[in-house]
Amino acid sequence: MKAMLWLALQSAWNRRHTLCLTLVALSLSVAMLLGVERARHAARQGFEQSIAGTDLIVGARSSPVQLLLYSVFHLGEASHDMSWNSYQRLRDDPAVDWVIPLTLGDSHQGFPVLGTTQDYFEHLRHGDQLPLALASGRRFNQLFEVVIGAEVARQLGYRLGDKLALNHGQGQGQGEEALHEHEDLPFEVVGVLARTGTPVDRTLHVSLQALEALHLGWQGGAPLPGLHIPARFVQKFDLEPKRVTAALVGLENRAGVFRLQRALHQYPDEALQAVLPGVALDQLWHMLGVVEQTLAGVSLLVLAMGLSTMVAIVWAGLGERRRELAILRSVGAGRRHIVALLALEGLLLSLAGALLGYGLLGLAAQAAAGWTQAELGLALPAWGAPANELKLLAGVLLAGLCASLLPAWRAARLTLSDGLMPRL
C-alpha cells in the first residue's frame, strides 16, 4: 500500500501543472457546496434568533406564517388588528410575565415604522438571548421622538437630533399611489440601536401614542380636508390606542404555554390567534423548501462539473501515460493494480480539493464576517465542521473515487504492446 501511495504521489507530481487546474475547479466547487449549506443553516438560525425568548405571538386570526411575517419580520400586512381591551386582558393574565404591543402600518422611505412601548426595549431578545442595546442616544420618552435601527441610520445617514417625517402606509408609492406624509408632525431622532442582524436594524421605533397622534383627524386612510391639528394641541386629546397589530408574549412558566394558547383561541370577545414562534418558523421553512432544494441542486451541479473536469483531464492524459502504465505492467503490475493506482490518485485529488475548498471557505467567511452580518444579517461560521458538513465532505470523496474509476477502467484496457509501441 505504501508503494502504491508513493507511485500515486510521484505520478501526480509529474503532472502537477495540469492537476493544479483540476484542483482549483474542484476546491471552488467544494467551497460553494459547503457555503450554500452554511448559508442555509445560518439563515434558519438568524430567523430563529430574531425573537429569542418569546413564547407566543398573539394577533387577529389568520395564517400562523402570516402572523409571524408581519409581526416579527415586518413583511406583508395584517388583515385585522387586535383590540386594545384584548391586549390589556392578556397583559393582566397571571400566567403572563410581559407583553410587547406592536402596531405597524406606517413607513419612512421604505422602512417600516413600529409603534410600541418601553417593554420592547426591556424584554425583546435576539441571538443568544441578547437584549437590545443603544449605539448612541437614548430611548424615546416624548411624543414625537423616534429610535431608529442601525441599518436605517446607515442607509439614510441619520444622526441624533435629525428631523424626519413618517408616511401613512408601507412601501414607497409613486405618482397617484404616493403615500400621504405626516410632514406637519416631524419626529426627532433620539437614539440609534446597535446592530442586531435582525429586522430591528431596518425599523423605526416610536410610541403607540405617537401613532395615535399622527392619525388624529384622519379617516379612511387619508386626512379630512381642512382639518389640521397643530403639534402643540395634540397632547390635549385622548391618545390611548384603540387597536394594536399584534403582541409578543413572555410567560412566567413556559409549561403553561399550551393552556394560554387554547384560552386565546377560545377568546369570546374577538377571533384571536396565539402562535408558537418555533412552530410557525417550521411551517415557513417547509414553504421555502423548494428554494433550499434549488440552491442545493445548483451547488451539486457545480460539484459535478468539477468532478467531470477531473475525469476529462485524467482521461485525456492517459495517452501521455501509456508508456508509464506499460512499464508498470511489464514489471508485474496487473490490471487491478492499474485500476487501484488511478483510483487512489482520484481519491487523493478529491481529498486535496475538499480540504482546500474547506480552507478557502473558512478564509472567505472570516474575511467577510462583518459584511455578511451587516448586509445580510447572517453570522456565517468560519471554521468548525458540523456533522452535516462532514457528510458532504465524505460524499465528495466518495464521488471523486467513483469518478476516477472510469479513466482507471480505460487505463486497464490498454495492452502492454500498445503501451510499448504506441501508434503514430
Write the CB contacts of 257 (distance below 8 Å, at least 6 apart in sequence).
Answer: 55, 56, 251, 276
- pLDDT for 385 equals 65
Question: Contact, 418 vs 322, CB < 8 A?
Answer: yes
- pLDDT for 203 equals 94
C-alpha span between 67 and 212 (Å, rounded): 22
**Helices of type H across 196-334:** 208-214, 231-234, 257-265, 277-287, 289-316, 322-330
**Sign, CA torsion 10/15/16/20:** negative
Residue 179 half-sphere exposure, CB side, CA atoms within 13 Å?
19
**Helices of type H across 368-386:** 369-371
**Helices of type H across 73-230:** 84-91, 119-123, 150-156, 208-214
Burial 375-413 (b: 16+ CB within 10 A, else e): eebbebbeeeeeeebeebbeebbebbbebbeebbeebbe
DSSP 230: -
Question: Contact, 33 vs 302, CB < 8 A?
Answer: yes
Question: From residue 21, how far is each of 97, 364, 422 by CA, in Å?
Answer: 61, 20, 27
Residues lower than pLDDT 50 in the chain: 173-178, 424
- pLDDT for 175 equals 40
Question: Contact, 167 vs 217, CB < 8 A?
Answer: no
- Indicate the burial class of 57 (C-beta count within 10 angstroms; 0-12, 13-18, 19 or more): buried
Choose among 391, 423, 191, 401: nearest CA to 314: 401
SS3 state at 111: strand
C-alpha span between 204 and 192 (Å, rounded): 9
**Rg (the chain; Cα; Å):** 31
- pLDDT for 11 equals 64
Q: Look at the pTM and tell me if it is higher than 0.85.
A: no
